[in-house]
Structure 1
Amino acid sequence: MNDNAQSAKPQWHHTLNWGLLYNKYFLTSNHQNLAQIGKETDTTRFFSLMCQGHLSTKQWNECKLLTVGTGADLIKIVRNTLQDDQHALSSVCQRYTHRQCEMVKRLKGADIQEQDAIKTVTCNWRFVNGLSLPHLLEVNLFWHPTLGIPYLPGSALKGILKSFLINTYPLNEAGKYDPDFITFMQRVFGSYEYPGKSDIDHQTENQAGDYIFFDALPTQKMTFVTDIMTPHFGNWYQDGATNAGQLNTTPNDWHDPVPIPFLALENFELQLAVLPRPGSTEKTPAGELAFITDMLCSALSYQGAGAKSAVGYGYFEASPT
């Protein structure tokens, strides 16, 4: 390809919104009955192959686009993206994480070390988040609303760390937390009801925490894989509480298991970023930020994040600095 042709190559693939593609435009190899597309078992696998660029020319030519809006040329755009640039998604992730690092550098101040504010964690196996969100497949994957990549919201990281600290810090002999621990939690997370607080503590006015938890963004192209969950007692899960005692809502072996395919992620690496909130009233104690980010990495390692952590999903290990 000559220089002129290279310079004329469109640059839309650098900012392709994969989340929009997944949630608003849906590729399928079964175009016989679009009304039933959400019931097809091969749709998730098809999207997985699409994201990895493993579709043959014949499969590309046969696939159709189910859309809730306009976009007749979108399938051609996606196809050309995957054929011309297999690292498009990796490029997008690297651009966003670099921008986040630059923002952290501008906000952190001279007395904060960058290695204390930014950490990288790698998923041990698989990760999935947002299964309960509405989608054509009845299961979903949580995408960033504007960046269009899988991620962990900063609010989720804040909640994960808070629950980890509360569950691991011991109560004293009186069944209460030490005052220093309560002060630390209120400074980091803002107003919160802790076990063992006195009536005077409840009169404290609401306040924001002194730290910002940024969204955790993937640092590289991840691998989309198809997994299957097979609930054996679907009727009992859905109607057992309201129709107890009925034959079809009783959990027994005569119910037919229903395999449900869903998208999951492998080779998933996240960048974590935490900073003192600009304008906070108190100066950050020495070493506190490093402690917070280290504890956040420990929480993701021991407690996990996302869905299906009970079966091994969503556990991360901190990458060497």
Structure 2
Amino acid sequence: MSSRRNCLVNLSLKEASTTNAGLWLDKFIRNQAEDDKKSRRLLVDDVAGIKEPDEYSLWFKRWEGTLLNYGAQCRVAEVLGRMAVGLGEESVLETSVALHHTYGVPYIPGSAIKGMAASFARQYLGDDWQVDNPAYKTVFGDTDNAGYIIFFDALPLPGTGHSYPDVITVHHKDYYKKGNLPPADWDSPNPVPFLSATGKYLVAVAGPAAWTNAVFEILQYAFLELGVGAKTSSGYGRLKLKPAPIVTDKDQEKADQLIGQIKALKNPEVAGRIHAFYEQWKSIEINAEQKRRIAEAIIAKVKEAGREKQSREKSWYKDLLASLVD
């Protein structure tokens, strides 16, 4: 028997291409019978096929700007292989996944990042970073006081956060479930579908500068050695934290000057002059972070002038968009 309402029984993912992936995962399983493995596998395949909403890139830029205005330090971490976060949370399946409640993209909760960093500190950083010592309490807090460092949720850079169908194969189901039957070679494997994720994620922490620097040093190794989320013993959840960009006053001055010119451009002038700013962006020799700022300013001006639709298929505009994904 279908678990959907009658009016939704035949709804296909193609007809709801703009839906929220988390909503589809929670509400649109075809059949909730415990032994209906096909419906569960199809549900995982459906959710993995849902694309990132078009509005997400705009929201992400506001989110990043809010973090920077708050004084947070931000670094990008790239998943090496696959990541399974939120696998044990409540779900219509036997497994779950952490998806953003509004945009349905995979993300890493700040609590998971903090827990991983705290575990790494206790295991590998010696006596100075044990639970009762000042350094540990300063960063992570204790039962009486919060730590000085805020760990924000890590959201995927636009165009990079993808979900994929994956599978856990339990070979001795009755042994694990009942406990009174021994595992045997004739037990039937029981494939359990789940969703894993890839992508580049914006990792942000806020607090006193010296301590946030220390936290990023911890995260650099914790992401590689421990991993985040579930199935880390099988290689899931490893990320590589990119180094902090080196910003020089000269580079920032060049970028600020060009961005000022772009912002001063009047909307009716955009069609005839914006490509010249793209050429300057392409040839300017400054660090990657400042170059990214210029690309964002050009794209913002195109949108402000209402010329995004006309520019979307242009090679120069695609080049700018691609630079923001790297």
**Aligned twin of 1:187:** 138
Alpha-carbon contact 2:48-2:164 (below 8 Å) kept: no
Aligned-residue RMSD, C-alpha: 3.0
One-letter code aligned to 1:307: A
Alpha-carbon contact 1:45-1:226 (below 8 Å) kept: no
In the TM superposition, residue 215 of structure 1 has moved relative to its aligned partner by 0.6
| 1:85-112 Cα shifts (integer Å, max 9, x gaps) | xxx616444334322221122221xxxx
Once superposed, which parts of structure 1, at least 4 consecutive aligned residues long, lie more than 6 Å away? Answer: none
Alpha-carbon contact 2:79-2:200 (below 8 Å) kept: yes
| 1:260-308 Cα shifts (integer Å, max 9, x gaps) | 2222223x211111002xxxxxxx3x53322212322321121101111
Q: Which has the higher helix share?
A: 2
Structure 2 CA distance for aligned equivalents of residues 261 and 239 of structure 1 = 21
SS at match of 2:167: strand
Structure 2 CA distance for aligned equivalents of residues 178 and 260 of structure 1 = 39
**Aligned twin of 1:275:** 206
In the TM superposition, residue 37 of structure 1 has moved relative to its aligned partner by 8.2
Q: How does 1:186-205 map to 2 (within 5 A)?
A: 186-191=137-142
Structure 2: any 5+ residue segments left out of the alignment? 1-15, 246-326
In the TM superposition, residue 227 of structure 1 has moved relative to its aligned partner by 1.9
One-letter code aligned to 2:197: L
Structure 2 CA distance for aligned equivalents of residues 38 and 138 of structure 1 = 11
Structure 1 CA distance for aligned equivalents of residues 203 and 32 of structure 2 = 41
Q: Are 2:209 and 1:253 aligned?
A: no
One-letter code aligned to 1:217: L
Q: 1:16 to 1:210 in 2, by over 3 A?
A: farther
SS at match of 2:166: strand
Q: How many residues align?
A: 228
**Aligned twin of 1:239:** 178
State TM-score, norm by structure 2: 0.61
Q: Are 2:225 and 1:302 aligned?
A: yes
**Aligned twin of 1:288:** 211
Structure 2 CA distance for aligned equivalents of residues 166 and 227 of structure 1 = 32
Q: Are 2:108 and 1:152 aligned?
A: yes
Q: How does 1:92-171 map to 2 (within 5 A)?
A: 92-108=55-71, 117-171=73-127
**Aligned twin of 1:56:** none
**Aligned twin of 1:21:** 24
Identity of aligned residues (%): 28
State TM-score, norm by structure 1: 0.62
Structure 2 CA distance for aligned equivalents of residues 215 and 15 of structure 1 = 24
Higher relative contact order (CA 8 A, sep 6+): 1
Q: Are 2:238 and 1:315 aligned?
A: yes
